[in-house]
Amino acid sequence: MSAQGRLLIVDDELSVRDSLGKWFREEGYDIGIAESASEALTRMAESHWDLALLDIKMHGTDGIELQRRLHEIDPDLVVIMMTGYASVDTAVTALKNGAYDYVSKPLDPDEIAHIVKKALAHRETEKENLRLRETVAEITRPQELVGQSPAMKKVFEAVQTVGPTDATVLITGESGTGKELVVQAIHAASVRRFHPLVAIHCGALTETLLESELFGHEKGSFTGALYRKKGKFELAEGGTVFLDEIGDISLKTQTDLLRVLQEREITRVGGNQVIKVDFRCVAATNKDLEKLIEEGKFRPDLYYRLNVFHIELPALRERREDIPLLAHHFMRKFAQSMNKRISRISPAAMEQLVRQPWQGNVRELENAVERAMVVAQEPELKEQDFFFKAPPLPSSGGRSLEEIERAHILQVLEQCGENQSRAAEVLGIDRVTLYHKLKRYGWSRSAVENR
Amino acid sequence: MKRVQLLPIGKVDAELLGGLAALVPDILPVQCEVLPEVLDPAPAFHGERLQYHSSELLRYMARFLRPGAWRLLGVTAVDLYIPILTYVFGEAQLEGPCAIVSYHRLRQEAYGLPADEDLLLDRLLKESVHELAHTGSLLHCEDYQCVMSPSHGAEQIDLKGSRLCAACFRRLNWAAP
């Protein structure tokens, strides 16, 4: 491709084609010439063009119809119409059909050079804009929410339902259940996704600092306020404000927050100018807000304002079936970031993982896998690579009677040196029953005894 | 040294033509001489546009080519056009022997301003070098100071310099026929 661009000139007058082609060639463009609509369509099929200069009045198919057909082939093609008659009607039709501009013959050299250059720059900007949007979408893509359990499927459905709306969302769940990931998913599914997602951890700040963070402050409004500062609601600028640990804010801040949510207006600390703000609010807490209301520590009106749509995230222990999936997900993630070729988790290690209490939920599981990945030898994560703080649940926890029976039979058999008669005696069942059970378990004698 | 011959087309200011012949060799390594003949532009006149078709004039110029001349540059005071454009300052045969330049729109009077002969000669020099360089295969240059940068208005001519940038100078095809 030439530095300037590829231009297709379509006109049924030879002198126009020749003179314009030569003129644009001198300007540094790659030029294609067509004397009719059908030839133009052939040129389009043969190669790519950035811009087409079309004569409106041509024998056979005119420029307006040709423009429509060219755009069917390449919607990104920039079309500039030329006519010998300055007709407003045809100009309007051309522009309505997607032409970039319209010029009257003879063309003013300064004008046509400028229009073509501007049109191609505009096209480049649009392409760049698209590329940047895709990049932003890629960068802002939320980390994957992992889970196949019914509880998590309900969460995914809720995110899909509420994401595209502008409703305020309250997310509750224990610490480490992935509330921030849900916020990211809601933001990514919303029309506000190309605007910022601004998070603020309300519990980490004192009342005055939180006010300043949320609403901003004017220069000199308090000691240390050396500059005017925009608050989070202003910084969101059409995006999403995530208020984390909402249950930890003071009653005074709750009142201010309620006003912002109702009026969509803020006043900076130390200021008196009312500023309109456009944002979507998502709040999260691990506290029981209804209980806080009963204790007089949380405003019920703010609660109702926040609780327009409620998503409850299940604790990990309530969805143990997701643990293998999550463990493998984190294993793959850390294998990539640590550049380690670990591709599986041993059955014994997985059994331990499934049985852990996971008080810290998914975050704790993630940390456990990360730690194990550091010490593990390729290609497998083994039981000894994990360090479990809490003792595992009793072996019967969450298991069926059949599983317990199987484990017990195999344990006794091992203790009896794989002697089935002795094991049947210990278990109090007859030898044939034991044989059938072992067959069902797919058990076979160890290699040592078979020798 | 290569020779460039200047051909007056219609009535041309002799002093201006002499000035051009003296200055072109400062820019390009050529000798310049003014031909004694004059080409009558009348056959290329367009009655409705009241302008002269530059491509036709280029064709008529061919019969004035002399053996040993590298290029023939037509210089005219009349207003030039090509069919699709409202006007042109000049036209060249890419890698061909002829080029033409008009000073009709290079005059300050064309824009309602007092005459400025020095400025006119400067503009004519730039446009002459520009068209001659087209005959040496050069296309337009993005360096706004280079004489090969495109200029569609007198103010753009004033903005650029009269010399080729280093890259254009290297690219200029002296061997072009």
**pLDDT score at A447:** 39
Binary contact (B94, A105; C-beta < 8 A) = no
Structure tokens at A429: 């069942």
Taking domain A316-385, whether its CATH number is 3.40.309.10 is answered by no
pLDDT digits (tens, 9 = 90+) for A76-113: 899 999 887 656 777 788 888 889 998 888 899 889 99
**pLDDT score at A446:** 59
Average pLDDT of every residue of chain A: 84
Model confidence band, residue A132 (pLDDT cutoffs 50, 70, 90): confident
CA of B126, closest CA in chain A: separation in Å? 16
Binary contact (A108, B85; C-beta < 8 A) = yes
Task: Decide if A107 touches B, using CB distance below 8 A.
Answer: yes
Model confidence band, residue A226 (pLDDT cutoffs 50, 70, 90): confident
Highest mean pLDDT of the ranges A186-195, A336-345, A407-416, B82-91: B82-91
Chain B residues within an 8 Å CB radius of A118: none
Half-sphere exposure of A397 (CA within 13 A, CB side): 15
Q: Where are the domains of chain A?
A: 6-136, 150-312, 316-385, 401-450
CA of B46, closest CA in chain A: separation in Å? 13
Nearest partner of B87 among B66, B110, B108, B71, judged by Cα:
B110
CB atoms within 10 A of CB A375: 12
Chain A residues within an 8 Å CB radius of B150: 26-27, 113
**For residue A304, pLDDT beyond 50:** yes
pLDDT digits (tens, 9 = 90+) for A200-210: 888 777 877 88
**For residue B8, pLDDT beyond 50:** yes
**pLDDT score at B30:** 94
* Phi–psi pair at A197, nearest 5 degrees: -105, 110
Q: Which CATH superfamily is domain A6-136 in?
A: Response regulator (3.40.50.2300)
**pLDDT score at A283:** 93
Q: In this predicted model, which residue has the larger pLDDT, A51 or A127? A: A51
pLDDT digits (tens, 9 = 90+) for A251-263: 888 888 898 888 8
Q: What percent of chain B has pLDDT above 90?
A: 89
Structure tokens at A217: 């402050």
* Phi–psi pair at A31, nearest 5 degrees: -115, 135
CA A421 to CA A427: how far, in whole Å? 10
pLDDT digits (tens, 9 = 90+) for B111-130: 999 999 999 999 999 999 99
**For residue A450, pLDDT beyond 50:** no
**Local structure of residue B5 (DSSP, 8 states):** E
CATH of domain A401-450: 1.10.10.60
Q: Is B131 a catalytic residue?
A: yes
A192 exposure class (CB count in 10 Å sphere: 0-12, 13-18, 19+): buried
**pLDDT score at B116:** 96
**Of B95, B131, B142, B155, which residue is the catalytic one?**
B131
Binary contact (A19, B85; C-beta < 8 A) = yes
Q: Which domains does chain B have, with CATH numbers?
A: 2-171 (3.40.390.10)
Task: List Cβ neighbours of A418 (8 Å cut-off, separation of 6 or more).
Answer: A445, A446, A449
CA A1 to CA A8: how far, in whole Å? 13
Model confidence band, residue A396 (pLDDT cutoffs 50, 70, 90): low
Nearest partner of A405 among A173, A413, A257, B151, judged by Cα:
A413
CA distances from B92 to A23, A58, A250 (A): 10, 29, 81
Chain B residues within an 8 Å CB radius of A112: 85
On the question of a common fold for A150-312 and A316-385, the answer reads no
Q: Which CATH superfamily is domain A150-312 in?
A: P-loop containing nucleotide triphosphate hydrolases (3.40.50.300)
Q: What is the ipTM of this complex?
A: 0.81
